[in-house]
Amino acid sequence: MTAFILDLDGTLIDSVYQHVLAWHTALRQCGYDLPMWRIHRKIGMSGGILMRALEVELGQGIDESTSKRLEKIHSDEFERLRPTMQPFRGVREMLQTFARNDIPYAIASSGHRKDAEPSLAALGIGDDVPVLTKEDAENPKPDPQLFLKAAQRLRTKSESTVVVGDAVWDMLAARRAHFLGVGLLTGGYAESELTGAGAYRVFADPEQLRQHLYETGVNIRANDNGPSAI
């Protein structure tokens, strides 16, 4: 049985551009000047790796206390922008399709648990779905650890595991975990960037993925394969 590991921000919830803006604000408030497009291409990394990436772009070190301040301002700004975020079309229907067909799935987000919770609530994701966040892995994405732990929780093997994400970092982590990567355009990456990072297929959004689930090798009932009724 195929199992799915789903990224959250930018894959199920329209929140990448808010992350970009929140990091831009945090960096400016700490005296750093990094253009939006360079920040955009880092979203989906997290914690220490993100800070190292920002250091490389800025050409200077970020000390521990500044790093904490950056994370705090980012988190506050992201929360302030929360009312502008919502699930992408087809997400709820996709999760219902998984449930109806007994397809196991987990959520794996490189964000903090507390930043993820409002999104999980908005999607009605219950306790029966394994949810892994930054706190669950020492090295989060693009390290494969988070996806490997999600697969453990799902008791799925590498040859039966599909990772769905919007960032090249998801595709990189999927590849390193020996899972199949499927990309979505919802995070603002180009198709070529996702395929270049190893995506087997790229779909526009969760709705289009749901309609073409069979392309990932999933065997589901025909009446769960058509366009959404909504």
Residues making contact with its own copies (CB under 8 A): 14, 16-17, 20-21, 24-25, 28, 33, 35-37, 40, 84, 86, 88-89, 185-190, 192-193, 205
In the complex, least distance from residue 189 CB atom to its own copies, rounded to whole angstroms: 7
Q: Which residue number, 222 or 229, has a Cβ lying nearer to its own copies?
A: 229
Name the residue among 183, 3, 215, 206 with its Cα closest to residue 105.
Answer: 3
Q: Which residue number, 26 or 129, has a Cβ lying nearer to its own copies?
A: 26
101-134 exposure pattern, b = at least 16 Cβ within 10 A, e = fewer:
eebbbbbbbbbbeebbeebbebbebeeebbbbbb
**Which amino acid is present at 42?**
K
d(CA 55, CA 62): 6
**Which amino acid is present at 46?**
S
In the complex, least distance from residue 117 CB atom to its own copies, rounded to whole angstroms: 21
The first and second tokens of residue 137, run together, are 């892995």
| Cα 30 from chain centre | 26
Torsion, Cα 119 108 71 48, to 10 degrees, reads -170
In the complex, least distance from residue 20 CB atom to its own copies, rounded to whole angstroms: 6
Helix (H, G, I), strand (E, B) or coil at 175: helix
In the complex, least distance from residue 159 CB atom to its own copies, rounded to whole angstroms: 30
Q: Which residue number, 1 or 30, has a Cβ lying nearer to its own copies?
A: 30
Q: Which residue number, 111 or 130, has a Cβ lying nearer to its own copies?
A: 111
In the complex, least distance from residue 106 CB atom to its own copies, rounded to whole angstroms: 24
DSSP label at 34? -
Q: Which residue number, 193 or 224, has a Cβ lying nearer to its own copies?
A: 193
Report whether 184 contacts 44 (CB < 8 A): no
Q: Which residue number, 99 or 190, has a Cβ lying nearer to its own copies?
A: 190
In the complex, least distance from residue 190 CB atom to its own copies, rounded to whole angstroms: 3
